[in-house]
Amino acid sequence: MAKILSRVTRILMAQFEYKRHLESLMTPEVMAAVGDVREHRGRQTLYESTHPEALESLVEVAKIQSTATSNRIENISTSDKRLRELMLEKAEPRNRNEREIAGYRYVLDIIHESHDDIPITPNVILQLHRDLYRYEGASFAGHWKDADNVIAEQLEDGTFVTRFKPTSALATPDAISRICEEYGKQIQEGTFEPLLVSLLFVFDFVSIHPFNDGNGRMSRLLTLLLLYKSGYMIGKYVSIEKEIERTKETYYEVLAESSAGWQNGENEYKPFVTYMLGVLTACYKELDRRYAAIAGGGSNEDMLRSYFDHLMGTATKTQIMDANPAISKRTIERILRKLQDEGVVEKIGAARSTAYRRVR
């Protein structure tokens, strides 16, 4: 057993050599994308200093969207009414889905409130995983996986397709220790952009798949934590998880592309990193729009008109409400009727498939 563990350690040393991988990301394309995200971050800082109240109105909405989306990706859901009650801690969870949603909210709150004081270590990751299941009491909570697993995707017909074979259960503790060490080393040395170091860590965490359950949700929570620690606070105001859900087909594609050769440390992180930088840029642009709508002093009707002016394709009523959190549901419904009467917006579909679009 000692010889096997020694061989595993040597493999992991080569596999998670972050300096080499980060150097390979120093391309014009990646650095331009990083520059774009930095520019947006600068505007967010300006927003926070000039109109903090406008941004604060977005925080709770982002938390609700992040919790709902991240769990929905894993087929964990409840009604909108129950979700809001759970998020506002006005109700106790009634079933397993609601207990897992409540656990996600608990960890999300910890990250929002204490991110600068949370070290990136194996024990902390285990604690966050235990907290994720604090209302569920699962025996595997806070423990590394005890059996090998696979990353699979469920197709529309209900069948599963194996996307990737992660690190073995035997090698998982050392693998997590290794990426935590490499993350800490690169952040301390300060040679590379912390955002890029964080994205390498997230990809490796997903690929290691260290738990029996909860890997996807933990990866998204850790993404948020690492972004906050790197000074990128966009997830506080706009749900990053929601943008990942919207582009999940691309997400699976870049995971597969960046996974080729990963076990031997010969993979290319660039597809995943470029995708995630694009996700962040999209979220920052959404923040620009929401901030302009709230801080600009325009009427609710002006906000919705602007929303449809920039809308590509269609949007459901829920999507319209999510994108315009400062406007009540009743007001949105009233303005939608007015815009339809004017011929500015048209309704397509019926019942659950009802959506709205701008008349061009």
Across the range 93-113, mean pLDDT stands at 94
Residues 233, 116: Cα–Cα separation, whole Å? 12
Residues 89, 314: Cα–Cα separation, whole Å? 33
**Interval 231-255: pLDDT, tens:** 999 999 999 999 999 899 999 899 9
Q: Is the pLDDT of residue 8 over 80?
A: no
> Which residue has better confidence, 4 or 81?
81
H helices of 233-269, in order, are: 240-246, 248-259
Residues 6, 174: Cα–Cα separation, whole Å? 10
Q: Is the pLDDT of residue 165 over 60?
A: yes
pLDDT of residue 257: 95
Q: Where are the beta strands (DSSP E) in 5-76?
A: none
pLDDT of residue 9: 54
Q: Is the pLDDT of residue 12 over 70?
A: no
Q: Is the pLDDT of residue 216 over 90?
A: yes
Q: What's 328's DSSP letter?
A: -
pLDDT of residue 137: 85
Matching CATH number, 2-295, of 1.10.3290.10, 3.40.50.2300, 3.30.465.10, 3.30.160.110: 1.10.3290.10
Q: Where in the chain is the domain with CATH 1.10.3290.10?
A: 2-295
Across the range 218-223, mean pLDDT stands at 98
Across the range 258-267, mean pLDDT stands at 92
> Which residue has better confidence, 296 or 19?
19
Average pLDDT, the chain: 90
Residues 247, 243: Cα–Cα separation, whole Å? 6
Q: Where in the chain is the domain with CATH 1.10.10.10?
A: 300-358
**Interval 116-151: pLDDT, tens:** 999 999 999 999 999 999 999 899 999 999 999 887
> Which residue has better confidence, 54 or 317?
317
pLDDT above 90 covers a percentage of the chain that reads: 64
CATH of domain 300-358: 1.10.10.10
Give the tokens for residue 251.
């997400």
Across the range 163-191, mean pLDDT stands at 95
Find the distance separating the first CA and the last CA of the chain, reported in whole Å: 68
Across the range 191-205, mean pLDDT stands at 98
Across the range 99-128, mean pLDDT stands at 96
Q: Is the pLDDT of residue 11 over 80?
A: no
